Structure 1
Amino acid sequence: MALQVFAIVLALGLLMFLAYRGYPVIIIAPLVTLLAVVLSGGLLLPSYTETYMTNAANYIKSFFPIFLLGAIFGKVMEMSGAAASIAQTIVNKLGTKRAILAVVLACSALTYGGVSLFVVAFAVYPFAAAIFKEADIPKRLIPGTIALGAFTYTMDALPGTPQIQNIIPTNYFGTDAYAAPLIGILGAIFVFAGGMIWLERRRKQALAKGEGYGTGHSNEPESVDIATLPNFWLSIVPLVLVILFNYLFSRSGFSVKSWYAQTELTDLFNIADVSTVTSSWSLICALTIGILAAMLLNVGRIKVKLASGLTAAAMGSLLAIFNTASEVGFGNVVKTLPGFKAIQDSVFNASSNPLVSEAIAVNVLAGITGSASGGLSIALEVMGSHYLQIAQNVGITPEMLHRIASMASGGMDTLPHNGAVITLLAITGLTHRQSYKDIFVITILKTAAVFLLAFAASLFIPA
């Protein structure tokens, strides 16, 4: 059994190491998967074609529309100038005295409205740099500030967020994007307050030392011509529509649950429970409405670069979905190997509380893979049904499992090898040495919030 466990640990370690070194996950994930199969004495080709590829394809079938539409929505908001208009207005309204808060809120508004994290970083950075320079706050604090607003509570904690990390659990637990709203809001408040306290403390420390924005920085943004940006109120319309229609199609009398007869769904499409697809269908419809609104409100600005923009969005979504699907395929093969039972028992036995055990599993895998969606998908593919069964036995709702899993994915995923962290530092022209400390502290805050909430929720579980 020791060799079988070693095979899985070795494969996971290689996946993490090679991904960190910049090798494409689409290629290395199947290779390390097959290495684990060989070392475990499994059947090589059937494991690849019938388990790895089948499960990767199923993941793409379930989530590609969301990846694609999310990428298009973000790109349209970027091309139209709407994202920049929202960021500029929030930053200007709050002013230099609240520079850090202004940047955090600008990122939060865009992320919660459905704009992808990478687009948010590109859109907000020019305004963050300008207001930090005017307030004479060190530039090295910008990545941590953007990370707090875009990579934390609006990504996976606040109920209804359309980010993929909040949608993935719906497929495993039959929940929707608004699962466990109180827990999510409490977690969001904790992370926001803790992050702001830390960043303001860092600002005051720099001020006491006489450190300002600094000079000689790389990737300094060009000044944005504010006069050319679209109207703020028009710019927020697509975001509001995404949030509004996502709710209407999920939880109101207009819910997609009532659009089709259950007998037809079962007989024609093999959908036994419409709840398993409600969140995906709701978000597909909401994002489509948001995209159309963004395009109609900014036709003149978009039409010249629409073809190239849509191509870039499509290519970005393909890379993202295939990377994550590759990790899902890896997880599904691993759970069939002999050594997995020992690893699974170790994770389960780490805590008798299924919420804590789930948080550990998702956090660890997100940290290892450097991907919130990847780690979350692997954990739920491998152990989601087990957690659901155990939770129901002790009186924990699927909604609680959803929220804890979603928030846990956004914890240790932001280790130094995380793609979003590397991209954020590249955008701002800063290094890990200069700015990662603040990102890491916010990561620790996010992780702590998940475990505090999991322990607190366990107090209300019947003995």
Structure 2
Amino acid sequence: MLAVLGILLSLGLLMFMAYKGYSVIFFAPVFALLAAVLSGMAIMPTYTEVFLPNMASYLKVYFPFFLLGAVFGKAMEESGAAKAIAKAIVQKLGKKQAMLSVVLACAILTYGGVSLFVVAFAVYPFAASIFKEADIPKRLIPATIALGAFTFTMDALPGTPQIQNTIPMKFFNTDLYAAPVFGTTGAIIIFVVGILYLEWRKRKAQAAGEGYGHNHSNEPELVEDKNLPNAWLATVPLIAVLVVTLLLQKLVFPQWNIASWVTQAPYNISKAGIVGTMNNWALIIGLAAGTFIAMVLNPKRINGNVAKAINAGAIGSLLAVMNTASEVGYGNVIKSLPGFQSIAHALTNINSGGSPLLSEAVTVNTLAGVTGSASGGMSIALDTFGKNYLAWAQKTNVSPELLHRVASMASGGMDTLPHNGAVITLLAISGLTHKQSYKDIFAITLIKASTVFVLIGFTTIFH
């Protein structure tokens, strides 16, 4: 009992410190070790033999995606492509569809491979401007950006190159386009219900006489930029990421006898992991191609800023990946504790007689909430239970592609608790607080999480 209480105390303190603005890179190991001590484990061996190795393992596999994704995003920003896309959508739809235009701008950038953090920075100035013009409360901006960037294009739509859609490939030998019908249906539901919720919140606020508000912080100065590329041309790097990745995953790599040389020294990749590894290579090459095109897209604007884009992207990726890796290390320490075994047993025995999808969704969602990270929680869940779920799926004739899509979509549910890094960053960019805007961000999260379970229910009934 004390071990379970130690886990809950540790998680509560980590959420509290993150809520107060303290770095999880520092406090994740501190509170992981606190939970370990309360479970009777030694401090230093837990830190050096459990926390750090698992943190390093996550970095080894996923650092390229964080690095290239961040550099690609900065290249899109420095070339003016991200701004051109956002501006074109906002201007086309106008203030009457302010929320829809912001959601679509975020969705297009996110689905094209621009990192969530860069999307928030790129779209916020336009969101603030059009919300102010339409007299919509500013406190609704974070939830609007979250719907466009943190939900259906992050992990539901097949093909999205975001990290949350790449992680399951390693465990289920799938690709970015796994379970297209399930994912697309979920994306449509999330988009429609999310827009309806935001519009309802807007009408309710305006009926009460609440407008954009005054004396806000971090108000952007929207300066007219004459060097922006054509909006359609600006989408070419985004399309390139998706097309190159798709061609390599579906057509090129499957035709090569890669196993004949990568399973031998010095690579020694297991035959079971070859498909997942090749899919990772495809995305790395796709992001590299998109970055190159973004850099040559608008020479007048990016001239002299190539080094800035690369350096800023690289530095930004370090903070993002270290935050997530620290949370993965934290989660793996929690996973090793005796108190976690009873929790794990309860999670894996959900619907034990039927499909593994419900158990997987609950487990991934729970661990994403514990770590405050979609990718971190999903990595721990699949590292721990992935083989069990795959075997379970084979026994019940469930496609590995469904395991991939459910894990991916479920990870973007409870990960957005107050200690989530993306939530903290989004609020900081907007100049708003948890008290002002978190309730609506969390509501969007509930819509996202509920959709996964509704679809699992339909899939189970008609399976």
Structure-1 residue corresponding to 2:259:
262
Equivalent position amino acid for 1:247 in 2? L
| Cα offset, 1:360, TM superposition | 1.4
Select which of 352, 357, 366 maps to 1:364.
Answer: 366
* Superposed CA offset, 1:143-186 (max 9, x none): 22111111110001000101101111111222111111111111
Whole-Å separation in 2 of the counterparts to 1:247 and 1:318: 27
Query: Which has the higher mean CA deviation after the structures are superposed, 332-341 or 126-135?
Result: 332-341
Q: TM-score, normalised by structure 2?
A: 0.92
Question: Percent sequence identity over matched residues?
Answer: 60
Instruction: Give the secondary-structure state (helix, strand or coil) at the position aligned to 1:230.
Output: coil
Shift of residue 7, structure 1, vs aligned partner: 4.5
- Work out whether residues 16 and 419 of structure 2, in 8 Å CA contact, stay in contact via their aligned partners in 1: no
Farther-moved stretch of structure 1 (217-226 vs 44-53): 44-53
The equivalent residue for 1:206 is 205
Query: What is the rounded CA distance, in whole Å, between the counterparts of 2:71 and 2:18 in structure 1?
Result: 26
Q: 1:8–1:144: structure 2 CA closer, same or farther, 3 Å change rule?
A: closer
The corresponding residue for 2:279 is 279
> Quick check: 347-356 or 192-201, which moved more?
347-356
Tell whether the 8 Å contact from 2:227 to 2:301 is kept in structure 1 after alignment.
no
Query: In the aligned structure 1, how far is the partner of 2:155 from the partner of 2:207?
Result: 35
Give, in whole Å, the separation in 2 of the partners of 1:18 and 1:129: 29
In 1, Cα distance between the equivalents of 2:439 and 2:131?
Answer: 18
Partners of 2:184 and 2:8 lie apart in 1 by 36
For 2:139 and 2:10, locate their aligned partners in 1 and report how far apart those are by CA, in whole Å.
36
8 Å CA contact 1:371–1:418 kept in 2: the answer is yes
CA distance in 2, matches of 1:71, 1:408: 24
Deviation of the 1:11 alpha carbon: 4.0
Give the distance between the partners of 1:450 and 1:49, measured in 2 at CA.
37
Contact 1:159 1:184 in 2 (8 A): yes
TM-aligned CA deviation for residue 3 of structure 1: 4.2
- Contact 1:16–1:369, Cα closer than 8 Å, also in 2: no
The residue number in structure 1 matching 2:420 is 418
Partner of 1:219: 218
SS at match of 1:356: helix
Q: Over residues 104-124 of structure 1, what are the superposed CA-to-partner deviations in whole Å (9 max), with x where a residue is unaligned?
A: 111100000001111111111
Deviations 1:325-373 (A, max 9, x none): 2333333444444433322111123443421122112222222322212
What is the rounded CA distance, in whole Å, between the counterparts of 2:286 and 2:143 in structure 1?
30
Alpha-carbon distance, 1:244 to partner: 1.0
Aligned partner of residue 269 in structure 2, secondary structure: coil
CA distance in 2, matches of 1:120, 1:40: 41
Cα separation, 1, equivalents of 2:101 and 2:50? 47
Distance in 2 separating the partners of 1:129 and 1:287? 30
Task: Give the count of matched residue pairs.
Answer: 458
For 1:164, the equivalent position in structure 2 comes to 163
CA contact (8 A) 1:91 1:99 kept: yes
Q: Is the 1:68–1:314 Cα contact (8 Å) retained in structure 2?
A: yes
The match for 1:248 is 247
Q: Within 5 A, what are the aligned runs for 1:25-424?
A: 25-42=24-41, 45-251=44-250, 253-254=251-252, 256-268=253-265, 269-272=267-270, 273=272, 274-352=274-352, 353-424=355-426
1:262 alignment partner AA: A
Q: Which 10-residue stretch deviates more, 359-368 or 172-181?
A: 359-368
* Structure 1 length-normalised TM: 0.92
Q: Separation in 2 of the partners of 1:328 and 1:101?
A: 34
Q: Is the 8 A contact 1:179 1:400 kept in 2?
A: yes
Residues 87-117 of structure 1: CA distance to partner in whole angstroms, max 9, x if unpaired? 0001111122222111111110000000111
Question: Can you give the 5+ residue segments of structure 2 that lack an aligned partner in the other structure?
Answer: none
Distance in 2 (CA, whole Å) between partners of 1:197 and 1:143 is 16
Q: Is the 8 A contact 2:166 2:176 kept in 1?
A: yes
Cα distance between partner residues in 2 of 1:11 and 1:203: 37
SS of the equivalent of 1:197 reads: helix
| Aligned residue identity for 1:264 | W
Contact map agreement 2:72 2:287 (CA 8 A) in 1: yes
Range 5-14 or range 263-272, more displaced: 5-14
1:287 partner amino acid? L
TM-superposition CA deviations, 1:169-224 (whole Å, max 9, x none) = 11122211111111111111111010111111222233434433333322221123
Q: Tell me by how many angstroms 1:271 deviates.
A: 1.6
Instruction: From the superposition, tell whether residues 432 and 327 of structure 1 become closer, same or farther in structure 2 (CA, over 3 Å).
Output: closer
